[in-house]
Amino acid sequence: MAALSNVRWLTRAVVAARTPGAWRGLGTSAPAHAASQSQAEDVKVQGAFPVTMLPGDGVGPELMHAVKEVFKAAAVPVEFKEHRLSEVQNMASEQKLEELLSSMKENKVAIIGKIHTPMEYKGELASYDMQLRRKLDLFANVVHVKSLPGYVTRHNNLDLVIIREQTEGEYSSLEHESAKGVIECLKIVTRTKSQRIAKFAFDYATKKGRNKVTAVHKANIMKLGDGLFLQCCREVAELYPKIKFETMIIDNCCMQLVQNPYQFDVLVMPNLYGNIIDNLAAGLVGGAGVVPGESYSAEYAVFETGARHPFAQAVGRNIANPTAMLLSASNMLRHLNLEYHSNMIADAVKKVIKVGKVRTRDMGGYSTTTDFIQSVIGHLHPHGG
């Protein structure tokens, strides 16, 4: 079975087996405030799907509050197991990381905010965010960049998918000072992981009815490292004759995305390039506040925003845009096979944006986060399914 299908099947099987009857029509009672307590404030719903929640830094807690409020109003059968982990709020430790990992491994599904990584070196090169993704082997990051009807940007009617390998490459945390004033940073590229992400991309394209996969690289300069990644993509492409395959150098890809993004369908790339392209592409359809994202391993699924920003300057000001997190939460419900609730929430968010009366500042409006949440709740009504 395809890698993507494996992830979803395993998650649904494990969760369904542990929570019989956790389907439509069950109510939930979420905390009404973004608080700092953890398990004491878990949402308790009998027979519901357990989901690990990590609010993260910056406006993360406010965005998770939005998710809980909307889930409560929509009677979503999900029970959140909330944990706190932050390097900038002195809430990070190996014990907290292990507790979080234990919860995620048990529940198989999580929704997380951005864990901000300080630039200062304090003896550990790998951030907690990177450690989390490695220990769960969240190798595939998927960002679906799609224009929102009613919200006009420079490019409209966009629909492309960015798939990023996120367990190696430039994020290997292997740096050292080889001589005074000389730092070496190692970029790790392996055949196993390059083949795995390439196969994931082609499986995704096949499953979603996509027509083309573009491998993004810099093999003209990094002939061995990116050359291996490119070779693996070409080898995998031969197994999918119905999917068109192209390659493109990363710098040209950035220019092409700005000039003519409509030429792209599914893009697959190594770690750093994916981080850059995720943010560039998010900007094409409205910014970090409107694009959802998700990360997969063979066993686990983590839902988050597509462009990861803490937006620290907005903390406590009630101006953060919850669109991306709500759409990501909707995708999470679809992953759990809760299609009814997923469609209900996604449709409500899109209706609010299409009507255009309630928009946060990043979308050119003057509405608060609370206004947006209340408007979404006001647009919740039954969706067939």
Q: Mind listing the pLDDT tens digit for each residue in 34-62?
A: 333 333 345 455 568 999 999 988 889 99
DSSP H helical segments within 108-247, as ranges?
Answer: 128-135, 191-207, 225-237
Q: Is residue 276 one of the residues assigned to a domain?
A: yes
Closest CA to 261 of 163, 161, 165, 364: 161
> What does the pLDDT read at residue 244?
98
Q: Which among 285, 304, 330 is the end of a domain?
A: 285
- Note whether residue 257 is domain-resident: yes
314 band by pLDDT with thresholds 50, 70 and 90 = confident
pTM of this structure: 0.85
Residue ending a domain, among 256, 285, 314, is 285
Domain assignment present for 39: no
Residue pLDDT, tens place only, 336-347: 999 999 999 999
**Is residue 190 domain-shared with residue 95, that is, in the same domain?**
no
Residue 21: pLDDT above 70? no
Percentage of the chain beyond pLDDT 70 is 85
**pLDDT band, residue 20 (cuts 50/70/90):** very low
Q: Do 348 and 278 sit in the same domain of this protein?
A: no
Q: Residue 322's pLDDT band (boundaries 50, 70, 90)?
A: very high
Model confidence at 123: pLDDT above 70:
no
Say whether both 185 and 281 belong to one domain: yes
Q: What is the pLDDT of residue 5?
A: 52
One domain, residues 163 and 246: yes
Residue 348 sits in the same domain as residue 247: no
162 and 80 in a single domain? The answer is no
Parent domain of 374: 46-139+292-384
Reported in sequence order, the residue ranges of the chain that DSSP labels E, i.e. its strands, are 49-54, 78-82, 109-112, 140-146, 159-165, 175-179, 182-185, 212-217, 244-249, 266-269, 292-296, 301-305
Residues 117, 74, single domain; the answer is yes
319 and 241 in a single domain? The answer is no
Of 25-29, 40-44, 95-99, 208-212, the least confident: 25-29
Pair (217, 99) in one structural domain: no
Instruction: For the chain, give the mean pLDDT.
Output: 86
The answer to whether residue 3 is domain-embedded is no
Q: Is residue 16 one of the residues assigned to a domain? A: no
CATH label of the domain that carries residue 269: 3.40.718.10
In this predicted model, what pLDDT tens digit does every residue of 336-376 receive, in sequence order? 999 999 999 999 999 999 999 999 999 999 999 999 999 99
Domain assignment present for residue 177? The answer is yes
Greater model confidence, 207 or 25: 207
Residues 221 and 261 reside in one and the same domain: yes
Residue 221 within a domain: yes
Q: Are residues 276 and 346 in the same domain?
A: no
Of 242, 261, 285, the residue that ends a domain is 285
Residue 134 lies inside a defined structural domain of this protein:
yes
Residue with tokens 């700092």: 36
pLDDT at 316 over 90: no
- Domain count across the chain: 2
